[in-house]
Amino acid sequence: MSINRQVYKNKKKGKKKRKRILLWIIMPILLLIVGATAYGGFLYNKAESVMNKSYKPIDRDTKATKTNVKLENTSILFIGVDDSEKRKASGSSRSDALMLATFNKEDKSIKLLSIPRDSYVHIPEKDIYTKINHAHAYGGVKLTLETVEELLDVPVDYYVKMNFNAFIDVIDALDGVQVDVPFTFSEQDSKDHAKAITLKKGLQELDGEEALAFARTRKIDNDIQRGLRQQQIFKAILAKGASIKSITNYTDVMEAVGKNMSTDLTFDQMKSFISYVQAGSGIDVESMSLKGSDSYIDRVYYYQLDEAALEETKSKLKAHLNSTATASTTETETE
């Protein structure tokens, strides 16, 4: 263990837990885990209460507004938003991370597609081309959903939005997660103290602050690798969450999630995912990314998506959803 890391751990003792999040995607899935594990009991009722408070439907004319969406071909967009005091002061809140999850019940499989935040895309309502993370600043969740649907040409049935205030608490409630760190690096902590955390290369147990540093660092690679690191921690949290036994662990996780999440999934709809949870390690989770290259337009950096690779990704997602319909499917056709 490095001296920096030991000093950091010593300073942390006795202090109030700091709150920050990057891996919003795992939060609702952990709620499903606790609901499935304690079905009909205290924890189930608490999970239901948390989800009901987080329920915020979006009025939009797509498949997501229909009640007949089946679990066999369901897609969920996970939106991580930077709504820090610094961002609030600027008057806008951009999405820091986007991940589309498609579910195939028959195969018990999940495809996770990370969408780089700097991807150069068309924003439909504004009819402009810019970074995809600007969609949330321009039109919130609704415009973000519409932008992703147009980009990938598949319907997005549901959304889950998380801010950056729960990640550390969730990891710590699980008593850490095991991650294979591929390189040695130093990163700032959740209070933006430079090089406050140093991680050495190798398999190790990370607490919330350390996992955040691992997931958020961008200096040593790029957004594609960053997305893959997020998925790596997601899998570690899913595995750890499925194995915990303590009621305290469960309640701490739910408290961290409930204060920082909004979704258009009802609790009853989320219960339909319990079969995924009960499958445990039998779930096939495939990580996907969008290929592209660095680009500068008017001296502004963008991630230019590779059109051929994008078309291949669209085909894979449609096949996984068993869907021949596109995001432009009319209401009559959908019904």
Q: Which fold has domain 3-325?
A: Aminopeptidase (3.40.630)
Helices 247-258 & 42-54, crossing angle to 10 degrees?
Answer: 10
Q: What is the pLDDT of residue 71?
A: 57
The Cα 97–Cα 289 span in angstroms is 13
Residue 261 phi/psi, 5-degree rounding, is -130, 145
Query: Which whole-number Å values give the CA distances from 137 to 93, 113, 132, 146, 300, in the listed order?
Result: 5, 22, 10, 14, 18
CA distance 230 to 232: 5
Where b means 16+ CB within 10 Å and e means fewer, 79-99 reads bbbbbbeebeeeeebbbbbbb
User: In sequence order, what E strands does the chain have?
Assistant: 74-81, 95-104, 109-115, 120-123, 128-131, 158-163, 177-181, 185-187, 197-199, 202-206, 261-263, 284-289, 292-297, 300-305
Q: How far apart are the first and last CA of the chain?
A: 58
Question: What is the pLDDT, as a whole number, of residue 329?
Answer: 41
Tokens of residue 308, six digits: 């051929």
pLDDT at 275: 54
Question: pTM (2 decimals)?
Answer: 0.72
| Of the candidates 293, 294, 303, 288, the residue with the CA atom closest to the CA atom of residue 154 | 288
Find out whether 261 and 161 touch, Cβ atoms under 8 Å: yes
| pLDDT computed for residue 193 by the predictor | 83
Q: C-alpha 14: how far from its chain's center?
A: 30
Residues for the chain: how many in total? 335
Q: Which of 23, 121, 120, 35 is nearest to 78 (CA)?
A: 23
pLDDT, residue 8, reads: 44
Q: 38: exposed, middle or buried (C-beta count within 10 Å: 0-12, 13-18, 19+)?
A: middle
Mean pLDDT in order along the chain per 10 residues (335 residues): 45 35 45 50 74 86 49 83 57 77 84 91 96 94 96 94 73 87 88 87 92 80 74 77 67 75 83 58 78 94 96 96 54 35
C-alpha span between 161 and 138 (Å, rounded): 16
Token code pair at residue 260: 């920082």
Can you give the pLDDT at residue 132? 96
Per-domain boundaries in the chain: 3-325
Task: Using the structure block, give the residue that is written with the tokens 């950056």.
Answer: 164
Tokens encoding 36 = 């499935």
